[in-house]
């Protein structure tokens, strides 16, 4: 009897998507690493390049742009530095602490204020002093300073461990009178002040944030005390970590919490707050080791306003794109937390300091690597299931992507022999190239005796390294599939993309087996960009 021909069905393959994993793996494992969505395509997240080595053994603590000074102020370890437009770094002074986030702002009289959450340090570039950093102690202030901001030529500082927030004298960050005309108090709940932040795009509006509540205040210029609390509105959530507060245009974003709710990401445009977490991310936040150790910043990537938040104790970074209203997972090259801590816009680009080293980095989509190192770009698609949970066979997966426009160069700096010996010996017989692409590059490497490795006294060298010129390597896409709903993934099937000039742009994988809960995972390998659109899964029963 003649068998019935299978009936093929085409199902959408959502290669373009965001991080929307569910509370439990069975719900969804959907996640996108180090890419975002633009015009319906998956495109790279910003890479970075190291532009200055300042203090390699120290941590970056803060970075700030002074428009009037036309410089950045950077704090790394226990030192403060000025960075000029041509990225020349000069020292301006030493802090009394060497760890922890610092907050930096500037008044209209040429005073830049650094707060390390113990002391204030004032750098007066309008009237230079000796030493350049004037230290103001808690004893002089009458309080221990925390988060600082500037509004209407006053520096405003949160009093750590108190319900008070404090004003400097008008135009003088070295003077903190401490009288009733210069001290405000959080009033809505019995709480401690975490931060005070002027609201961008809202004139004289100031947000005073506690741990469980936030209050809007307006600077009305009154003689007794210049600020007046909005008596009809408050936000019933405070701030868990002041270092997560970021502002741009008419947004303030922060990691919010109160006495009845766990942490979530919130933003405000000057009225009520909006919650921007998902079920999966909210659940992830409940499992964090130390969510109070976190920091975030806002930046624009090619027109997209993006908030990036990092939890270093859990090696976790997420970004939220306000344009597409979607989350993405961001990592370093080892799939740990992204290294950026604080960011500043300067020289028409973004720079950041890192919590893992004392370097300054430029951050931009013009860089498709992390300082020359490959960025792990991964897309775990949504589950493919039939409404009746019946089994099906996957005939093929296909989608379209950019190809034939990029060149790829991989440099080797630690090639080993087949027996595991380092290449820097004079006893090499065979060199084994170990690369997912089966290509590598030899730089000029010398033997112990000082001979160039590319001489005839070394025999049986692999042909791929018989040159000290860079070897062009194709970009590649790897597919790994799960047939148990994303719990386990199988072996990776690798396809090299066409070389430059060959713009064949369809990628197709055949005969991927049968399942009733099928999840594809794509990995995009290479040192240049990937531009990917959605595809089709052809299945039959």
- Note the pLDDT tens digit of each residue in 321-376: 999 999 999 999 999 999 999 999 999 999 999 999 999 999 999 999 999 999 99
- Note the pLDDT tens digit of each residue in 489-510: 999 999 998 877 777 789 999 9
CA triple 52-302-201, angle to 5 deg: 95
Q: What integer pLDDT is reported at residue 271 of this predicted model?
A: 80
d(CA 101, CA 105): 14
CATH number of 47-374: 2.130.10.10
Residue 160 Cα to chain centre, angstroms: 28
Torsions phi, psi for 283 (to 5 deg): -65, -40
Overall size of the chain counted in residues: 541
- Note the pLDDT tens digit of each residue in 109-128: 999 999 999 999 999 999 99
Residue 526 has pLDDT above 70, yes or no: yes
Q: What is the mean pLDDT of the chain?
A: 88
Asked if residue 150 lies in contact with residue 168, where contact means CB atoms within 8 angstroms, the answer is no
Coil/strand/helix, residue 180: helix
- Note the pLDDT tens digit of each residue in 208-246: 999 999 999 999 999 899 999 998 888 999 999 999 999
Q: Are strands 154-159 and 238-239 parallel, antiparallel or unpaired?
A: unpaired
- Considering the four listed CATH numbers 3.90.550, 1.10.1660, 2.60.120, 3.40.50, the one that applies to the domain covering 8-44+379-407+474-540 is 2.60.120
Asked if residue 301 lies in contact with residue 293, where contact means CB atoms within 8 angstroms, the answer is no
What residues contact 520, with CB distance under 8 A and at least 6 apart?
A: 13, 380, 381, 384, 397, 479, 480, 481, 482, 537
Q: Are strands 193-198 and 205-210 parallel, antiparallel or unpaired?
A: antiparallel
Residue 438 has pLDDT above 80, yes or no: no
Asked if residue 240 lies in contact with residue 265, where contact means CB atoms within 8 angstroms, the answer is no
Which of 470 and 231 is assigned the larger pLDDT?
231
Q: Band the pLDDT of 416: cuts 50, 70, 90.
A: very low
Q: Band the pLDDT of 522: cuts 50, 70, 90.
A: very high
Which of 300 and 467 is assigned the larger pLDDT?
300
CA end-to-end span of the chain? 19
- CA-nearest of 396, 402, 334, 356 to 43 is 402
pTM for this predicted structure: 0.87
Asked if residue 162 lies in contact with residue 192, where contact means CB atoms within 8 angstroms, the answer is yes
Q: Domain extents for the chain?
A: 8-44+379-407+474-540, 47-374, 409-471
């Amino acid at each position: 009897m003649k068998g019935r021909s299978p009936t093929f069905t085409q199902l959408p393959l959502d290669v373009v998507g965001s991080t929307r994993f569910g509370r439990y793996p069975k719900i969804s494992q959907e996640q996108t690493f180090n890419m975002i969505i633009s015009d319906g395509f998956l495109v790279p997240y910003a890479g970075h390049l190291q532009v200055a080595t300042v203090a390699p053994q120290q941590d970056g603590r803060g970075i700030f742009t002074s428009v009037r000074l036309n410089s950045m102020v950077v704090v790394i370890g226990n030192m403060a530095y000025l960075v000029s437009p041509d990225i020349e770094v000069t020292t301006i002074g030493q802090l009394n602490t060497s760890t922890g986030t610092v907050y930096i702002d500037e008044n209209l009289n040429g005073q830049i204020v650094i707060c390390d959450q113990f002391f204030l340090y004032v750098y007066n570039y309008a009237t230079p002093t000796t030493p350049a950093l004037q230290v103001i102690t808690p004893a002089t202030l009458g309080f221990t300073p925390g988060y600082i901001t500037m509004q209407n030529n006053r520096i405003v500082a949160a009093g750590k461990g108190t319900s008070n927030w404090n004003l400097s004298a008008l135009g003088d960050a070295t003077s903190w009178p401490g009288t009733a005309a210069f001290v405000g108090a959080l009033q809505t709940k019995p709480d401690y002040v975490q931060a005070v932040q002027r609201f961008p795009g809202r004139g004289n509006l100031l947000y005073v944030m506690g741990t469980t509540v936030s209050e809007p205040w307006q600077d009305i210029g009154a003689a007794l005390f210049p600020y007046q609390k909005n008596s009809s509105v408050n936000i019933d959530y405070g701030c868990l970590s002041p270092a997560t507060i970021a502002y741009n245009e008419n947004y303030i974003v922060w990691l919010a919490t109160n006495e009845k709710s766990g942490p979530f990401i919130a933003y405000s445009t000057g009225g009520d707050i909006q919650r921007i977490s998902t079920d999966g991310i909210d659940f992830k936040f409940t499992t964090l080791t130390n969510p109070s150790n976190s920091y975030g910043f806002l930046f624009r990537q090619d027109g997209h306003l993006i908030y990036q938040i990092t939890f270093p104790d859990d090696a976790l970074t997420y970004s939220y794109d306000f344009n597409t209203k979607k989350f993405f997972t961001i990592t370093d090259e080892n799939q740990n937390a992204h290294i950026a801590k604080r960011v500043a816009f300067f020289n028409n680009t973004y720079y950041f300091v890192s919590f893992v080293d004392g370097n300054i980095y430029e951050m931009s989509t013009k860089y498709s690597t992390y300082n020359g190192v490959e960025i792990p770009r991964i897309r775990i698609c949504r589950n493919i299931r039939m409404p009746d949970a019946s089994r099906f066979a996957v005939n093929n997966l296909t989608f379209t992507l950019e190809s034939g426009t990029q060149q790829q160069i991989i440099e080797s700096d630690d090639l080993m022999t087949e027996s595991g010996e380092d290449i820097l010996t004079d006893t090499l017989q065979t060199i084994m190239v170990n690369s997912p692409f089966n290509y590598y590059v030899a730089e000029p490497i010398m033997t112990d005796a000082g001979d160039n490795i590319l001489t005839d006294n070394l025999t049986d060298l692999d042909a791929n390294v018989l040159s000290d010129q860079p070897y062009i390597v194709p970009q590649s896409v790897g597919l790994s599939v799960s047939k148990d709903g994303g719990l386990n993934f199988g072996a990776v099937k690798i396809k090299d993309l066409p070389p430059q000039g060959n713009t064949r742009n369809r990628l197709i994988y055949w005969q991927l087996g049968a399942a009733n809960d099928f999840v594809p995972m794509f990995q995009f390998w290479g040192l240049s960009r990937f531009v990917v659109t959605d595809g089709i899964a052809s299945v039959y029963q």
